[in-house]
Structure 1
């Protein structure tokens, strides 16, 4: 059942040709948003590229009576990110919501991880969030300074790997952790311009997860498919709408029918000598503090 919660809004979704991005684009359009569908059409490891996936999603939205336009630029480049925002403004005359979702995997254990694989994953995830965010917020700042303060929304895509770590995914986990920090900074810096910035850590069946979680993520023969990417999209739609007023700088885990507000680093047990510690004193105090502290959540894939 749709409610039209995004009627009149214009949304940009990166990596929207497949998986979670496709589900978000379709859900936003179903709720009345006009959508810019960005996708390079690359393979799981980021190689190759074709316009087909983005075009197919645009066609799906239009077939359902919605409005959409495709964008095939690389959002991890200044030119691609700028043209993404320009496409929304030139096609639909405004921009209200940015969903940063694009990414790919190059998983290796740390000692086998090549520098190129590190750089490529950091580039698409972290830089691919930063540049669209930068250009969108520059537009919204200009609008606010012109007396047209927007109800702007940004939804970034982190991961449980970025919150807890994940064995074999040092590059991906580091990038996704960086996205959380970027979200917090952006939320603090842009609130004066009418911008709200949040992040999600989704768990769903996509090309990026189907091999890692093949058994757990098999689609059921009947009943509720808890791992369908469409389960994550309602939260994204709400966060991307004006109805989420006042919600910013937050991280949400979304999986199946569950939504969790994730609570990050905050001070735990502490000791203050009031003077410089010796190494032995520092060690003794630290062991006492650790005994009082909560046990960390395990890293995904750790034994």
Structure 2
């Protein structure tokens, strides 16, 4: 790879990289000069179904596609929502390429239900893959980078997490997914603060794109455009931002959340204090209610939940 590419010399691990957004990220990092660990468990949209632990499946397909284009990649088919699987992602990068510079947490699946119909097992499965599946790879990568720092080799490391508009605003029929993705935002903010001393920057991206996870729920909005037209919902539109955030070029950018859709990138402001009032004394319930009414009249209206009528 030419040495002037944005990620030349960097080693990047992408979870859930066998299809959709993760695949686009892995291919884009390789095109930018990175060596890539392609993780994917090879399951269906709902997290069930076939798993290809040895030589087959989407992780191997993407790794082979990268190698066919002249890049370097290895496949990893472990479950990143387990401690061993998450540790093995980091170990695979170190064994194959001798280092790890960037972790992109992207693995996930959906089991959509309205709250009154959402079973405990489905809740647990979605929280597990999205939230625990972010935490465990992050923890193992951070432990490696902390050890490097203590050995006098401070890294220039990056973590890019994947949240969602559902996590920022909520989404009807996606209570578990929305809760998990909101948790990813909080995890991102904490990790950015805690890991800064180890040379690690942590950001999150809320993408909108046509993938297996979105095409069934938003079939009309996610439809492919006519031939030759700009495909605003292509996963490849999100990948450039993720590649930049995962590169050394993003120095100084950490603890941020970005929306990415089509040609648009938006910096999300998140929760900020709005109007407030301090009486210096305890209120009665009626007084508290009156205060809330006054403050809400001064506040910006809340953005609607996706799918709300």
> Once the 2 structures are TM-superposed, how far is the Cα of residue 213 of structure 1 from its aligned partner?
1.2
Which of residues 282, 289, 296 is equivalent to 1:290? 296
User: Following superposition of structure 1 onto structure 2, how do residues 169-188 of structure 1 map, counting pairs within 5 Å?
Assistant: 169-188=174-193
Give the secondary-structure state (helix, strand or coil) at the position aligned to 2:258.
strand
Which of residues 245, 248, 252 is equivalent to 1:246? 252
| Cα distance in structure 2, aligned partners of 1:96 and 1:49 | 31
Q: Equivalent residue for 2:222?
A: 217
TM-score by structure 2 length?
A: 0.97
Q: Equivalent residue for 1:93?
A: 98
User: Following superposition of structure 1 onto structure 2, how do residues 1-303 of structure 1 map, counting pairs within 5 Å?
Assistant: 4-51=5-52, 52-221=57-226, 222-303=228-309
| Cα distance in structure 2, aligned partners of 1:266 and 1:38 | 36
> Once the 2 structures are TM-superposed, how far is the Cα of residue 49 of structure 1 from its aligned partner?
2.8
| Cα distance in structure 2, aligned partners of 1:114 and 1:143 | 43
| Cα distance in structure 2, aligned partners of 1:54 and 1:282 | 55
TM-score by structure 1 length?
A: 0.99
Question: For 1:46-93, what per-residue CA distance to the aligned partner results, in whole angstroms no more than 9, with x for missing partners?
Answer: 002333101110110000000000001000000000111000001100
| Cα distance in structure 2, aligned partners of 1:261 and 1:100 | 19
> Once the 2 structures are TM-superposed, how far is the Cα of residue 97 of structure 1 from its aligned partner?
0.3
List structure 1 segments (4+ residues) > 4 angstroms apart after TM superposition: none
- Alpha-carbon RMSD across the aligned residues, in angstroms, is 0.8
Q: Which runs of 5+ in 2 are unaligned?
A: none
| Cα distance in structure 2, aligned partners of 1:120 and 1:218 | 28
Give the secondary-structure state (helix, strand or coil) at the position aligned to 1:37.
strand
Q: Which runs of 5+ in 1 are unaligned?
A: none
> Once the 2 structures are TM-superposed, how far is the Cα of residue 201 of structure 1 from its aligned partner?
0.2
| Cα distance in structure 2, aligned partners of 1:244 and 1:116 | 39
| Cα distance in structure 2, aligned partners of 1:286 and 1:262 | 25
| Matched pairs, number | 302
| Cα distance in structure 1, aligned partners of 2:50 and 2:168 | 30
Bigger CA drift: 209-218 or 113-122? 209-218
| Cα distance in structure 1, aligned partners of 2:164 and 2:39 | 20
Give the secondary-structure state (helix, strand or coil) at the position aligned to 1:276.
coil
